[in-house]
Amino acid sequence: MLADLKIAVRAADSKGAIAPVALDVAEHFGFADAFLVVSGEVERNVQAISDQVERDLNEAGVRTVRREGREGGRWVLLDFGDIMVHVFHREERDFYQLERLWHDSPKIDVSSMLEVAATQPE
């Protein structure tokens, strides 16, 4: 799960995702082990982030189970089984406050995933 999460975090970051938060929801949610929540500034950015995350995980052999909301560009849910990626327009993220709903789930450190990516050559 952490390897897949790292791919998703790096893919989202490569398209300018802001404020990534990963939550370990395994104890509270029977359908996934982790949520990754990120924001995009505009609709096209939300779509680009979700497209890149899906592309990179699919290329790594992780199958997309379900995709919802891409057309509107305000919120996209990508379900990969063990992880679910929520890409929000920043206004929708502020409104839905998904992290607050899952506040009792431990956070997963995504900053270390990004730091490693920044120091490794492509």
Give the domains, in start order, of the chain with CATH numbers: 2-111 (3.30.460.10)
pLDDT of residue 120: 53
Closest CA to 9 of 75, 57, 45: 57
Q: Residue 122 above 50 pLDDT?
A: no
pLDDT of residue 48: 96
pLDDT of residue 8: 98
Q: For residues 64-77, give the mean pLDDT.
A: 92
Alpha helices in the chain (DSSP H): 2-14, 43-59, 90-96, 98-101, 111-119
Q: For residues 4-13, give the mean pLDDT.
A: 97
Q: Residue 119 above 90 pLDDT?
A: no
**Residue where the block lists tokens 């893919």:** 11
What tokens were used for 82? 């063990």
Judge whether 7 and 111 are in contact, CB under 8 Å: no
In this predicted model, which residue has the larger pLDDT, 43 or 122?
Answer: 43
**Angstrom distance (rounded) from CA 37 to CA 94:** 12
Q: For residues 23-47, give the mean pLDDT.
A: 94
pLDDT of residue 70: 79
**Angstrom distance (rounded) from CA 59 to CA 95:** 33
pLDDT of residue 115: 72
Q: For residues 18-45, give the mean pLDDT.
A: 95
**Angstrom distance (rounded) from CA 71 to CA 99:** 23
